[in-house]
Amino acid sequence: MHITGDRIVGVDRSGALPTDGTEVIDMGRSACLLPGLIDTHVHLAFDAGPDPVTSLAATSDSALLAHMRAAARSALLAGVTTVRDLGDRGYLSLALKTELAQHPEQGPEILAAGPPLTTPGGHCHFLGGEVEGADSLRAAVRERHARGCSVIKIMASGGHMTPDSMPAHASQYSLDDLRAVVDEAHHLGLPVAAHAHGLQAIKDAAEAGVDSLEHVSFLTADGVASDPELVDALVRKGTFVSLTLGLAPGVTLQLPEGMAEQVEALLDTYSHLQKAGAQVVIGSDAGVAPWKPHNVLPYAVADLARLGVSPLVALTSMTSQAARLCRMEDRKGRITADADADILAVDGDIAHDPAAVLNVRAVFRAGIRVR
């Protein structure tokens, strides 16, 4: 592989050493070169502590930005060279994106959503994105576009970490509201990511034409309700499903009563999505809990292996497939001439050993070796 500046300029599989004095970096015979990983769903503003919501509320913008720098650095050192930040406060992820564009060796490339659109008092309302009504939703999309956001995030359903808000299975927006957001965003050239735990919210968001469904938990008031017809519809429509996977080892999961059973049912649904041929990407949701630190994405390869997904297919969901969702397939998610020089080198046979992705030999971001 030949790198000039921040780009890959050529890939030579002959094994011959260059004769023009070019610097050669030998990773060893057991090294495997991969494109830098892409995490399609993170929250750099959350600290992966026991109560990230309270911590965020008690943190000033300047201190929060410093934390976000550290979180971004942590992700990069694990081989995650691109992230979609799907919810911050005060558009701080845009400020960090600008910083890192000047110093790419300090963190991954950031695709920022800004404060997610949510109903008054709705899921993650404390991030500042409360809005209701089609006209106001369209205006909120235009504001994010004007500020330079790369994606629109909308909370189509409730969630698990916002006290006194709607339950995760309940819809927060109507189909018409979702259509207004998608129409305005697509008119401006922006994709839409819909947080959708609830079964009805998944159906409505998909029908509205969102580009990705986040979490896709198939929740009802009675638990997880696997819906093969809906899965088939998502496959036919080509909607990306961003599955929430990746758990840090050695951290005890503290789940609400009854949720452990839901997790098992949800994993079965995830497996069905994979086998049915859905366009699967992995969004770790990094930052939202102690088992979700910002370097957690590589552990999702093992999670997918437990669902019967091969390591290479799992890696595709975090590289080339994720690049397609992010509309960056011309320069991300692949090792080829003219692609960004975002590269992860690991030790081991990744085709047969999911754990090899954790054995990091080197990480390059924009052609600069950072590990």
| pLDDT digits 0-9 by tens, 22-40 | 778 877 788 999 999 999 9
User: Average pLDDT of 111-125?
Assistant: 98
Confidence check: pLDDT of 85 > 90: yes
Cβ–Cβ under 8 Å, residues 344 and 318: no
Tokens of residue 198, six digits: 């609830």
At 21 the pLDDT is 65
CATH class of segment(s) 39-334: alpha beta
Question: What's the rounded mean pLDDT across residues 172-182?
Answer: 98
Q: Measure the CA–CA gap between 168 and 152, rounded to whole angstroms.
A: 20
Taking the C-alpha atoms of residue 105 and residue 178, their distance in angstroms, rounded to an integer, is 37
pLDDT attached to residue 34 = 96
Q: 3-state class of 197 per DSSP?
A: strand
What is the helix (H) or strand (E) element at residue 85, kind and residue range? strand 80-85
The reported pTM is 0.95
Residue 53: alpha-carbon gap to chain centroid: 19
Please spell the DSSP secondary structure of 83-124, one letter per residue.
Answer: EEE---STTHHHHHHHHHHH-GGGS-EEEE--SPBB-TT-TT
pLDDT tens string 208-266 = 999 999 999 999 998 888 888 999 999 999 999 999 999 999 887 776 665 666 777 88
**For residue 19, what pLDDT band results from cuts at 50, 70 and 90?**
low
What is the C-alpha separation between 318 and 144, in angstroms, rounded?
26
Model pLDDT, residue 253: 74
Joined tokens for residue 223: 């638990």
Q: What are phi and psi of 42, to 5 degrees?
A: -135, 165
Q: State yes or no: pLDDT of 164 exceeds 90.
A: no
Q: pLDDT value at position 257?
A: 61
